[in-house]
Structure 1
Amino acid sequence: MAGTHKLIVSPYLGEYVVLQPGSEGGIKISESKYQELRHASLAPSWFTSAVRTFWGADIGEGPLTDTVLVKPESPYGYVRATYELNLGCNYDCEHCYLGLKRFSGLSWPEREKLLYILRDAGVLWLQLTGGEPMIDRLFPEVYGLAYELGMMLTILSNGSRLANPGVLELLTNCRPHDITLSMYGATEESYDGLTRRRGSYRLFIKGLAAAREASLPLRLSLIVTNRNEHELGLMQAMADEWGIPHNSFVNMSPTIYGGAETLPSQSADHLRKRKVFTGCNAGHTFFHVDPHGMASICKIGRDPQIPLIEEGVDGLARLGAIADSLLLRQGGCTGCTLSGSCGTCMPLVTLYRKAKSPLQNYCQHREREEVNQQ
């Protein structure tokens, strides 16, 4: 059974925070108060008062370890990670960036080892994804141990398994920080057409209703393609009626193998100009792990990889240098002098170029004289 803690106290990027699984926000504390909590047997009065004021929660007067998990400091500096449990999925969405969605992954002993590696790396926020993570046979075990180890969990899902009693009980007892559900249309015709699975819309509605009934923290990602673009307004209206925060996902990318089969689903009218890419923390405070325990800087920049099961947490020491080499523009796209205002990171540019994508899909400069003169 997953841990029973109600609160997590943790280092976070040089600071110290108190978080409650399933709740927004948190409390920032000083290093001295963090150290006090690390060694306290009972909750100090300032702590119980702060928790009561912020969350309206009473943690009681028993041993601190009964309700509070205090995470130790890690020398590695990683605070976020994503973990693909499995690339397999029960849908076959025409826009999916995973391409070949093969069912394969680690055994339980290897997954258990991986989760302890993530803990030792300092990971506080862990995103569980796939494929569809909730159809993975070891999802309950992975989720339960990650929760027990003091990770704030987020889940990316299509919602098709949310009404499953076992899954619903797990998520209700050990609450995630949030669950982001992909929404593929506002009608059964569009939804099932995009997923290429009959009945997927009804599963989504059923899972959504069950999650709302259980008061689980939900978000919606409204997937906009040329198949359902006419329903975006209706999808937004439905999300508003449900009272669920939402955003629109509109830019289709090639597959992780550089395949172009996803690109025809792009809605030309909804191709969004990206913000100027000025760098990110991929590989430095954040990393990605695929179903085989291979760590990379992110979901897009998957090569080179580090075999975590073989090398353990010390293997992550190489990720920073890998990130710096992958994210450098190295002269830009064939010498483009506009790279300083480009909105696409180089790993994603590489996939678009492998897919021989039309330039407008990833280069949104409107004045290309300098590009064309190269």
Structure 2
Amino acid sequence: MHKLIASPFLDQYLLVRPGSRGGVLLPRSHYEELRAHAGSTQAAPSWLADVVQEQWPGLEVTGRSTAEFLLVRHLSKWGYARASFEINLGCNLRCKHCYLGLKVNSGMPLADKLRCLRIMTEAGVLWLQITGGEPTIDKDFPATYRAAFELGMMISVSTNGSLLWRENLLTLFRACPPYRVTVSMYGATKATYDELTQREGAWDLFVQGMNAARAARLPLRMSIIVTEDTAHEEQAMLDLCERWGVEYNVFTNVTPTIYGGGEVLTAQSKEHLRMRKQFTGCNAGHTFFHTDPHGLVSICKIGRDEQISLPLEGIDGLSRLGAIADRLMLRTGGCSGCKLSGTCTVCRPLAKHYQEAKAPLESYCQHGIRKAG
């Protein structure tokens, strides 16, 4: 199994190590040298041994052939670097704020999942987020994760952490280290946690999973979710992350479901509603894309209006994604002619979801903030 990956990344070349946050920017000449020696029994170039010793002192490659430890990714004409893969919509929790709405356990057979991964690799995807629903409840998660790893992807897993204590997952992560495991946190006490997730015993599973993940030294990051139910425990959640020594981000704004449903907006803590920073554009659809459980590609998790079927169209279908992204970002519909659009704080696809959900303007739009003031 490879320990290092040499890969193009947009217009650069990287040397990265699974399970490690650090990396090295390579000159093209060094990348080409590694590509020429890919699979060779020759000893690793001396410069590579020096770079590895400096960046990852515990990894010894001097005198070893590159075939023993290095996977070299090939150039892609498609220009993608990152993707998210929603391998299911099902979940073992029923969180009040969840943007997925109906959590239906459905999707592709494993063979199609693996085909999608191969297409992503061909498209140039180096960083892959595996998400759900709750991805670890999917029967194909271990095989999908391992296949992505073997294809040379740096993998992040987004999870509620409830199953991280399972030995099959810990064994998988030891053999194929993830780049990051991002765990959502829904409270700092059993009563609050179980209330928001609407599942008795959810807190106990979360703590059990976190204890196992910390003992296994998984590269953890917490997503602290602040809602009407959890707002009173915000500081306690921060304190718990500090005590565990786990980095974290805090999320306070509730968004409508992917179907434009507003039922989840009642979970919003009004005291924690924050106006987002000015939206200045993103690379959704151009260097990044999202794949849903049925292999349907969209520009991101929010902008799903126009989708491309990877299983049916293959990689050639991605050639239409950039134009779709540009079209979806236009200020149309309820945002047409808005004089404040130049400083809007949400992208057009997200604004459309809020409008469909008949959300209060102050939850996403500057007009609402001005009226409230």
Considering the TM-score relative to the shorter chain, is it more than 0.5?
Answer: yes
Give the drift of 1:335: 2.7
CA shift in 2, pair 1:50/1:116, >3 Å = same
CA shift in 2, pair 1:258/1:49, >3 Å = same
Q: CA RMSD in A?
A: 1.4
CA shift in 2, pair 1:367/1:117, >3 Å = closer
1:45 maps to what in 2?
A: 46
Residue by residue, what CA displacement relative to the aligned partner does 1:301-323 show, whole Å, maximum 9, x if unpaired? 00100010011111100000000
| Alignment counterpart, residue 116 of structure 1, candidates 113, 118, 127 | 118
1:150 aligns with 2:152: yes
Q: Give 5+ residue unaligned stretches, structure 1.
A: 370-374
Residue by residue, what CA displacement relative to the aligned partner does 1:104-123 show, whole Å, maximum 9, x if unpaired? 01101111111100110000
Q: Percent of aligned positions with the same letter in both sequences?
A: 54
Give the drift of 1:59: 2.2
2:301 maps to what in 1?
A: 299
TM-score scaled by structure 2?
0.96
- Higher alpha-carbon deviation: 83-92 or 36-45: 36-45
> Contact conserved, 2:334 with 2:355, CA < 8 A, in 1?
no
For residues 174 and 206 of structure 2, the distance between their equivalents in structure 1, rounded to whole angstroms, comes to 18
Residue by residue, what CA displacement relative to the aligned partner does 1:207-252 show, whole Å, maximum 9, x if unpaired? 0010110111000000000011000000000001111000111110
1:372 maps to what in 2?
A: none
1:35 maps to what in 2?
A: 32
1:95 maps to what in 2?
A: 97
Residue by residue, what CA displacement relative to the aligned partner does 1:71-99 show, whole Å, maximum 9, x if unpaired? 00000000000000000000000100000
1:18 aligns with 2:19: no
> Contact conserved, 2:241 with 2:247, CA < 8 A, in 1?
yes
Counterparts in 2 of 1:190-201, with a 5 A limit?
A: 190-201=192-203
1:76 maps to what in 2?
A: 78
Secondary structure of the 1:335 match is coil
Give the drift of 1:366: 6.6
For residues 96 and 210 of structure 1, the distance between their equivalents in structure 2, rounded to whole angstroms, comes to 25
- The residue type equivalent to 2:226 in the other structure is V
Residue by residue, what CA displacement relative to the aligned partner does 1:241-282 show, whole Å, maximum 9, x if unpaired? 111000111110000000011100001111111111111000
| Alignment counterpart, residue 258 of structure 1, candidates 257, 260, 263 | 260
Give the drift of 1:332: 6.7
Secondary structure of the 1:192 match is helix
Counterparts in 2 of 1:169-180, with a 5 A limit?
A: 169-180=171-182
> Contact conserved, 2:361 with 2:369, CA < 8 A, in 1?
no
Give the drift of 1:133: 0.2
For residues 67 and 265 of structure 2, the distance between their equivalents in structure 1, rounded to whole angstroms, comes to 51
> Contact conserved, 2:18 with 2:154, CA < 8 A, in 1?
yes
Secondary structure of the 1:82 match is strand
CA shift in 2, pair 1:61/1:238, >3 Å = same
Runs of 4+ deviating beyond 6 Å = none
> Contact conserved, 1:332 with 1:339, CA < 8 A, in 2?
no
Q: Give 5+ residue unaligned stretches, structure 2.
A: none
> Contact conserved, 2:160 with 2:206, CA < 8 A, in 1?
yes
| Alignment counterpart, residue 215 of structure 1, candidates 208, 214, 217 | 217
Secondary structure of the 2:263 match is coil
For residues 277 and 232 of structure 1, the distance between their equivalents in structure 2, rounded to whole angstroms, comes to 26
For residues 366 and 301 of structure 1, the distance between their equivalents in structure 2, rounded to whole angstroms, comes to 23
Secondary structure of the 1:48 match is helix
